[in-house]
A and B are shown apart, each in its own frame.
Chain A
Amino acid sequence: MCGTCGCGEDSHIIYRKPGAPEKGHLHYHVHPHEHDGSEHEHGHHHHHDHDHVHSHEDEHVHSEHAHSHHPAHHDHSHETSTIRLERNIMAKNDMMAERNRGYFEALNITVLNLVSSPGSGKTSVLERTLKELAGSLDAFVIEGDQQTMLDAERIKAAGAPVIQINTGNGCHLDALMVNKAVKQLEPKKGSYLFIENVGNLVCPSLFDLGESKRVVIISVTEGADKPSKYPTMFETAQLCLINKSDLLPYVDFSIEEVKEHALRINPKLSFIVVSARSGEGFELWYDWLKGLRNA
């Protein structure tokens, strides 16, 4: 089953570089209606847009309809046993994240997972960063959005190799998506890999991607109490960029207040006030990025 919308297809996730033709399966498919068998008493074959998982149930209806699965009708007996598992449900993602992390470490690739609400300026921050650091570091970008190549096109124009992950209806990137994207992107040894997550302050916080650091971005047009309202993202981040500082004179936003809210959740969080528009604060951001290499 598709992990993003629950339909019968394996996956709607598309990985694509700007300019590359779309490959893989057709993602704008028709959702088939439910087949529980009972509505299909006539004996013809159904034509579907694609194979789906209920086909063998249909066969049951045609051939063995009278045969019900009541235990009393069977000679063999069922035995029930309990297995204690105590297994972490996120283990699969966490394990894949650790595999990614090991790969990145071996190649000395510094990986930043950029998370924020939609519209706080993740892509704009990246664009300026890529343009201004073009000579001093090798940067690669994974863009996560539900739809479109728009962000990947912007990043490509800013001069960095980029791959776009379109999650369909998915609200977050996971470690497997990053693993697949990295294989196509092929980031260089010693480079920086920026992963721009899907704009969403809730779901991405649960999914470790294998990043070195998590950077949460908030803009001054948002409420200063956001860290308290959406705590998990601020809890799991190491750096908070407060963006759009050029708008501070026009909005009721207190830097001190947002820091106070965020520090209550995560006393170790660092802050840098920036404006992707004016460039204010970017030197500090670059120092922080370069400092990750010496740590």
Chain B
Amino acid sequence: MHELSIALSIVDLVTTEALANGASSVSRVEIGLGNHSGVIREALEFAMEEAVKSTLLEHAVIEYVSIEAQSCCQECGLNFTPEGLYLPCPDCGNPMPELIHGKELIVKSIDIETTK
């Protein structure tokens, strides 16, 4: 449900950057979505279809790159790919290893068209 406001934030952010770079349109947007970002990709795709209408992004190809979860244990220093959320460190049993990747919700890059 919150994906539409996130889609609008994406359009907002990309439009600001595109205009600042003199773009006449945006042809590609690359979005990075962490596995544990709290956003459902299908819902975001659906929301984006509506959000881009009548904007510089209207004809842009939207690419979604998923970002795998990665944890780091602050106790023993182990870096590992967690098999699920909220699991203890597989090595030392620390109940709260830090999730260092997987929460991302970012615009990685955009392709803009400028008219010469």
Q: Which residues of A contact B (CB under 8 A)?
A: 1, 3-6, 53-54, 57, 76-93, 170-172, 174, 200, 202-203, 205-207, 231-232, 235, 264-265, 267
Contacts and interface: CB of A to CB of B under 8 A. Distances in A.
B114 interface: yes
Contact of A89 (B10, B28, B47, B85): B10
B73 interface: no
A87 to B, nearest CB: 5
Given A91-B13, A93-B9, A206-B38, A171 B115 contact: no
Nearest to A263: B95
A107 to B, nearest CB: 28
Given A3-B8, A89-B10, A231-B85, A203 B105 contact: no
Given A53-B53, A53-B54, A170-B5, A89 B107 contact: yes
Question: Which 8 pairs, one residue from A and one from B, show the smallest C-beta to C-beta distance?
Answer: A203-B2, A171-B1, A53-B54, A6-B50, A89-B105, A265-B86, A3-B5, A78-B113
B27 interface: yes
B106 A86 contact: yes
Interface of B: 1-2, 4-6, 8-10, 12-13, 17, 21, 24, 27-28, 31, 38-39, 47, 50-51, 53-54, 85-86, 95-96, 104-116
A171 B40 CA distance: 15
Nearest to B32: A86
A85 B107 contact: yes
A79 B108 contact: no
Contacts of B6: 89-90
Nearest to A174: B5
Contacts of A202: 1-2, 38
B105 A90 contact: yes
Contact of B109 (A82, A200, A205): A82
9 contacts: A6-B4, A78-B115, A78-B116, A81-B114, A85-B17, A88-B106, A89-B6, A89-B107, A265-B86
A171 to B, nearest CB: 4
Contact of B95 (A81, A83, A264): A264
Nearest to A170: B5
Given A53-B54, A87-B13, A171-B1, A81 B112 contact: yes
A48 B5 CA distance: 26
A6 B4 CA distance: 7
A89 B51 contact: no
B60 to A, nearest CB: 11
Contacts of A86: 106-109
A90 B5 CA distance: 10
Contacts of B109: 82-86
A1 B110 contact: no
Contacts of A78: 24, 113-116
Contact of A92 (B9, B17, B38, B111): B9
A6 B1 contact: no
B52 to A, nearest CB: 10
B100 to A, nearest CB: 15
Given A89-B10, A89-B105, A3 B85 contact: no
A1 B55 CA distance: 10
A198 to B, nearest CB: 10
A172 to B, nearest CB: 6
Contacts of B10: 89
Contacts of B86: 231, 235, 264-265
Contacts of A200: 1
